Amino acid sequence: MPDDRVRLFTALWPDPAVRTRLAATSDAWQWPPRARRIDAAKLHLTLHFIGAFPRERVDGLAAALATLEPAPTALRASRGEVWRGGIAVLLFAAEPKVAALHAAIGGVVAGFGVALDPRPFSPHVTLARGARGAAPPLPPPELDWQASGFALVESAPGGDYRVLRAFGDVVDAAARSDVPR
């Protein structure tokens, strides 16, 4: 990717306790040898994938996102699935406040010329790629998540994630006090 662009997404960023439970849920799956599991530190619920974005416009995007006031919401894991392409996910029950936040963020990023994903929003955490044949635990995990904010995240070269800005109450080591709020 050219140096003048960054790869971005917005996400619900789990606190350490939720991250630990997400990792434990992933551990409970039966994984085929070729599955590429997502590192626990990277587990999150994507709200919008923005993709390549002009570096000089990131501050403007962050300022526009800061005008949103995310309402605290409760999410509940519903079931695990393997989607087409071998993407293993943990689905969360539809929650009106998450859908409203998704729509509000979509309005902001569309205003910056970002094409939105036309597929219906399906709240999920990706657990692995290349996981065709994986089996989720039965019964489904009991996992509740109290989310009170979201993050603007850079997918950096080498696969690292860097929280650029936290909005609302995002509590995680990745959203330390040195991350602008």
Report pLDDT digits (tens) over 13-65: 999 999 999 999 999 999 999 999 999 999 999 999 999 999 999 999 999 99
**Structural domains of the chain, with CATH:** 5-175 (3.90.1140.10)
SS3 content of the chain, % helix, strand, coil (to 5): 25, 35, 40
Mean pLDDT of 145-165: 92
2 has a pLDDT exceeding 80 = no
* Beta carbons within 10 angstroms of residue 155's beta carbon: 18
Mean pLDDT of 157-167: 91
d(CA 131, CA 13) in angstroms, rounded, equals: 23
Instruction: Say whether pLDDT at 171 is over 70.
Output: no
Q: Establish whether the linkage from the previous residue to 139 is cis, with ω within 30° of 0.
A: yes
pTM (2 decimals)?
Answer: 0.89
pLDDT band at 85 (very low <50, low <70, confident <90, very high): very high
Report the pLDDT value the prediction gives residue 173, as an integer from 0 to 100: 41
Contact 134, 88 (CB under 8 A): yes
Phi and psi, residue 43, nearest 5°? -65, 135
Task: Specify the residue for token string 């009106």.
Answer: 96
d(CA 4, CA 58): 11
Give the whole-angstrom CA distance, residue 150 versus residue 39.
20
